[in-house]
Structure 1
Amino acid sequence: MRVYILSILLICAVVTVNAQQTQKPPLHGKNWMAVTGKPLAATAGAMIFQRNGNAVDAACAMLAATCTMWDVLSWGGETQALIYNPKTKKVIAINALGVAPTGATPAFYKSRGYDFPPEYGPLAAVTPGTVGGLCYMLAEYGSMSLKEVLAPAMDMAAGYPIEAQTANMIERGKKYLKEWTYSRAVFLTHEGQEREAPEAGELFVQKDLLNTLTKLVEAEAAALKNHKSRKEAIMAAYDRFYKGDIAREFVRGCQEQGGLITMEDLARWKPQEEEPLHVNYKGIEVYKLKEWTQGPMLLQSLNILENFDLKAMGYNSPQYIHTLYQTMNLAFADRDFYYGDPAFNKNPAIQGLLRKDYAKARAREINPDHNDPLAGPGDPYEFMGKPNPYLHFLKERQDLMDTTNGRKPGGFVPKHDATLLFKPDTNLIAINDADSAYMDRLWRGTTSVEAADKDGWVVSITPSGGWLPACIAGKTGVGMSQRAQSFVLDSAICPFNVIAPGKRPRVTLTPSLALKDGKPFLCFGVQGGDTQDQNLLQFFLNVVEFGMTVQQATEAANINTNQLWLSLGGTTVKDRQPRPGSILLNTQTPAATRTRLEQMGYHLSFGDRTSGPINAIFLDARHGTIWGGSSNHGEDYGIGW
């Protein structure tokens, strides 16, 4: 009888999940779908689709628009993409992440008192990657000209009505912006007044950026006039940015403000096309970028979770939450120690990290009844038949894991994610929803661009860098990246990710694609620093295990762990250390679940929205249609036809 009742309860739970209402309607289309972080940027994608562009063309237009709108990124940032090519039936990885400049060494930063590279300013910059990534994707896989694809962004640079979110970010960051000559001139349109930033709805004009984009289009036009091909003409614009007059002004402005980037750094850098990593989860092939991103963490987590019956546990039950948390802790521990730029790795660990037998061994480490505050990296080399060359660093690392630093235990949420209020004499921590800065932090740090068309092209991009408050390089109008802060200066933290000139930092940026029966199935991405693959993992499970639509899955309540090394923010080891047992839950979490999790050793914090600003596309093979899902967090928006 008890088994029968339990079965009925589980069936009811699944029905409830499938029937849940969403705050935003799902999107439907038969020809194309464009989803991104801003309504105007989604409109830019729709404009390109309406002019018969493919999904790559539309994605590039959305990328250009979001950069122009400073949607937590700018033109000097970095671009990471996965593209499904229907002609070859393969997934392509695009690596357009910048590299550390000449002179960027651990000794340089330590001599200035840093434990990590700084969070803001010219010394946080790696070389710009977005312009090169956009040009490469468009040249190789698009169908339109650079002039056509940049037209919406150029129109916006000439003046667009700035939205409140960005305008308020400028106002809050004006202390930094006043330190940088060129940023001050662009952003503080009412300098000297009580409010120095633009007002919401004010036309925000970026003359220098428009001039830079115009130069790119002029370079393309000159090449076409000289009978160059479409691809050659686009790459002529690329050369003007990285080797010509734009590059010279970028470098001059960077170095004038104390930055390290040289002309040689720009000229040597190139975007790279790579083979993505992937694992099979219950017949679905899930693709992520290589270990220069945190993307393989999601793949590792899926491999571990295959060893558990998640559906039987029930969506967001205490045991499900506990299993997810423990799994993510193990995968993050491996991420924090073994991930980094493969070009600099003589003894890569990724082959072992993605093995199914390694995942099974890691799954056996999970205590079913209590959080493990000392969960650390495993030894993937054992499963590769090799000795681990980093065992000495693993021993050193234990000292850095000591969190007895006088702070109240638990409850830590990354800077970009929440504002906390501690409740005295309790393990519970409440998020101050009344604080207007909270939601802005939650949405900050990256955006996502998702596009698909009826011909089978599917694109997932997670661009970032150069976010506000941004240091603009000279008269280019281009904000410099802040991604150098994701490097480490100590090999004991991560021997693969120690800063060096020409090296890419290990980033949080992580586009996703999934294939089912050899055809595109899901295309998804999210912003939010270290929370990205946490939320994407749960989004994927929401669809695959619990039968949610993409819109339901983007809005569904997730959890976040902070038992990991932070990738962004803070310049000391103390700022970045893991917070064992710290968990972010939705405010609607039942009292019984809260009690059980406390008994398991967790320190609880709460937020009204915990799913992350996820954007996604579902390719409905059965009906030959395209579904879009767009987060209910903020300004994320999609258009389909």
Structure 2
Amino acid sequence: MARLNIIASAALAFTCAASTLPAAASDRITGHHFATRSEAMAPNAMAATSQPLATQVALDVMQEGGNAIDAVIAANAVLGLVEPTGNGIGGDLFAIVWDAESEKLYGLNASGRSPKSLSLEYFKENGYESIPPRGVLPLSVPGAVDGWFELHDRFGQLDMENVLQPAINYAESGFPVTEVIAYYMGRNAAVLADQPGFADVFMKDGDVPEKGERFKNPDLANTYKLLANEGRDAFYKGKIARTIDAFVEKHGGFLSYEDLAEHESTWVNPVSTNYRDYDLWELPPSTQGIAAQQILNILEQYDISSMGFDSPEYIHHFVEAKKLAFEDRAKYYSDPAFNDVPVEGLLDKGYARERAKLINPKKAGRSYEPGNPPTEGDTIYLTTADKDGNMVSLIQSNYRGMGSGVTPTGLGFVLQNRGELFALDANHRNVFEPGKRPFHTIIPAFVTKDGKPLMSYGVMGGATQPQMHAQILINMIDFSMNLQEAGDAPRILHTGSSQPTGSVMSDGGVVSLENGFSKNTRRELIKMGHTLQEAVGPYGGYQAIWKDHEQDVYIGASESRKDGHAAGY
């Protein structure tokens, strides 16, 4: 039986973890007393982001009278500056908000749509078999700024000038670039240096900044000042919109002033599934959030706890459940304004039981067909929680690190390349159409029990995300890990399932196991027909906040693989 209530008391979690985790993962310290760094704990407020400066700004904003919504926007603005390798206001945003006053969850889809003047025929006539990842063709409307103002208008407390001022200060005075960000800026520059405007902002001396170098972005500071003084219309109907329009047209693209001016975000109802008495909430398509729920619905049919964390049985069943969920993802997930997405059917428990029957417990599946559900009805992740009980789960991205590389003159940010995820197969649900939202990989998550908010969390990283959303909960529920251990434990990554662009898995894909799984487990998986491949770095970036209702404190956890930092007061 699941024992997630253990996590409400950190001390008890530490004592239980050693007896529930296998000794086989002995090359990591997971599973021993104080197995990883302690969870962050605080009585009033908590922030967990992927960069320490952003976490500190979030806390400062809440201490100055702002709430969790103000704090998450302020931190996101800082992250767009200090971590441009994963996010920025040229990208999209999704959020789940627990509003303490109404005691309800609210979902926001702040993603943009494709240019209305671009057509499928253009790609066909010019010989494209897929949409390129860089340049002006994969551009879609950036939705993040509208997302900020939607969140702020509905839930914020401080003036937007105060919310954006910390990011403005860092953009003007500079900040020291961390080792991780310097590394990823170098990797991005290797493929984006020749994109219009990129080098002017990010390679001012002919190269990207080195570790510890103080980096300034005065153009972004000026952009943030416009937003603070003139509001969201400065971006979508004012100077910024006209700058983007002229720059993109100059370089042969299609994203226009009209596309920006017509943009609006969408408030959506988060959807849930119950996994061993805990409700996991995700946003519905156009995101891939329900894939995590489909994985858990399938795995709920099995006694995962008895299999053991470092066991071929658990890893095999997890990978097969992921394959099944991702086949449905490839077929059904798309913009609901253009397609009838059978969300209720995909999350139906009976459907999950039927899908689970396809799993051979001894052999890896080479391919699966999408199901027929009942028809009723690099990225950053951050989370904040305040003294009044409000909690925000927010994720924001350029896609592919620094996006398209296209950096309009004088604005200080790159434009996203999310349009790359459209298919060019006219029969595919996610086919390119003018004014359509592409399939989206970025997903925030939230957990409740008995109607009470427990956990806001996310794991950045493309198709990694639903796999890790599921693994975090399995680690906590089935293997009794605490909030930090659940993120630090070695991860399972399967790649090669059918993609939203229309390509189909036919060879079973590839399983990558992070350091910490035993050699014997790896050998047994190979015997079962899995193809194992070493991979370094693509396992995502995790942040989480847990609300301990019994002690009335917040618990925070952050990613040990990157610059993650959780702190409170």
TM-score by length of 2: 0.91
Which residue among 333, 337, 362 is the counterpart of 1:343? 337
Structure 2 residue aligned with 1:225: none
What's the offset of the Cα at 1:78? Answer: 0.5
What's the offset of the Cα at 1:607? Answer: 4.7
What's the offset of the Cα at 1:599? Answer: 1.4
For residues 387 and 303 of structure 2, what CA distance do their matches in structure 1 show? 36
Is the contact made by 1:562 and 1:579 (CA closer than 8 Å) also made in structure 2?
no
Structure 2 residue aligned with 1:182: 197
Residues paired across the two proteins, number? 543
For residues 23 and 282 of structure 1, what CA distance do their matches in structure 2 show? 26
User: 1:173–1:357: structure 2 CA closer, same or farther, 3 Å change rule?
Assistant: closer
Which residue among 37, 61, 66 is the counterpart of 1:53? 66
Structure 1 position 365 matched with structure 2 position 364: no
What's the offset of the Cα at 1:609? Answer: 6.8
Is the contact made by 1:180 and 1:257 (CA closer than 8 Å) also made in structure 2?
no
What's the offset of the Cα at 1:280? Answer: 1.6
Which residue among 199, 215, 223 is the counterpart of 2:226? 215
Which residue among 125, 139, 149 is the counterpart of 2:153? 139
Q: Which amino acid aligns with 1:283?
A: D
Structure 1 residue aligned with 2:396: 463
Higher helix share: 1
Is the contact made by 2:80 and 2:87 (CA closer than 8 Å) also made in structure 1?
yes
For residues 20 and 581 of structure 1, what CA distance do their matches in structure 2 show? 36
For residues 112 and 31 of structure 1, what CA distance do their matches in structure 2 show? 57
For residues 330 and 310 of structure 2, what CA distance do their matches in structure 1 show? 26
User: 1:119–1:616: structure 2 CA closer, same or farther, 3 Å change rule?
Assistant: same
Which residue among 486, 508, 518 is the counterpart of 1:580? 508
What's the offset of the Cα at 1:137? Answer: 0.5
Structure 1 position 604 matched with structure 2 position 532: yes
User: 1:84–1:487: structure 2 CA closer, same or farther, 3 Å change rule?
Assistant: same
Structure 2 residue aligned with 1:410: none
SS of residue matched to 1:463: strand
User: 1:578–1:272: structure 2 CA closer, same or farther, 3 Å change rule?
Assistant: farther
Structure 1 residue aligned with 2:26: none
What's the offset of the Cα at 1:279? Answer: 1.1
What's the offset of the Cα at 1:23? Answer: 4.1
For residues 100 and 629 of structure 1, what CA distance do their matches in structure 2 show? 36
User: 1:377–1:476: structure 2 CA closer, same or farther, 3 Å change rule?
Assistant: same
* Gap runs ≥5 in structure 1: 1-9, 220-236, 387-444
Structure 1 position 88 matched with structure 2 position 21: no
User: 1:243–1:608: structure 2 CA closer, same or farther, 3 Å change rule?
Assistant: closer
Structure 1 position 532 matched with structure 2 position 532: no
What's the offset of the Cα at 1:180? Answer: 3.3
Structure 1 position 334 matched with structure 2 position 268: no
* Gap runs ≥5 in structure 2: 1-16, 24-29
Which residue among 152, 166, 177 is the counterpart of 1:162? 177
Q: Deviations over 1:594-619 (max 9, x none)?
A: 22111110111235777532111111
For residues 578 and 212 of structure 1, what CA distance do their matches in structure 2 show? 47
SS of residue matched to 1:476: coil
For residues 203 and 509 of structure 2, what CA distance do their matches in structure 1 show? 42
Q: Deviations over 1:210-258 (max 9, x none)?
A: 2111112222xxxxxxxxxxxxxxxxx1112101122111211122122
For residues 481 and 191 of structure 2, what CA distance do their matches in structure 1 show? 43
Is the contact made by 1:311 and 1:546 (CA closer than 8 Å) also made in structure 2?
yes
What's the offset of the Cα at 1:640? Answer: 1.2
Aligned-pair Cα RMSD in Å: 2.2
Identity %: 32
Max radius of gyration: which structure? 1
Is the contact made by 2:331 and 2:370 (CA closer than 8 Å) also made in structure 1?
yes
User: 1:579–1:64: structure 2 CA closer, same or farther, 3 Å change rule?
Assistant: farther
Structure 1 position 201 matched with structure 2 position 212: yes
Structure 2 residue aligned with 1:389: none
SS of residue matched to 1:604: coil
Structure 2 residue aligned with 1:499: 432
Structure 2 residue aligned with 1:632: 560
Which residue among 407, 416, 429 is the counterpart of 1:481? 416
Structure 1 position 320 matched with structure 2 position 255: no
For residues 126 and 190 of structure 2, what CA distance do their matches in structure 1 show? 21
User: 1:577–1:123: structure 2 CA closer, same or farther, 3 Å change rule?
Assistant: farther
User: 1:562–1:304: structure 2 CA closer, same or farther, 3 Å change rule?
Assistant: same
User: 1:213–1:13: structure 2 CA closer, same or farther, 3 Å change rule?
Assistant: closer
User: 1:342–1:250: structure 2 CA closer, same or farther, 3 Å change rule?
Assistant: same
Which residue among 75, 83, 95 is the counterpart of 1:62? 75
Structure 1 position 258 matched with structure 2 position 252: yes
For residues 35 and 204 of structure 1, what CA distance do their matches in structure 2 show? 23
For residues 33 and 136 of structure 2, what CA distance do their matches in structure 1 show? 47
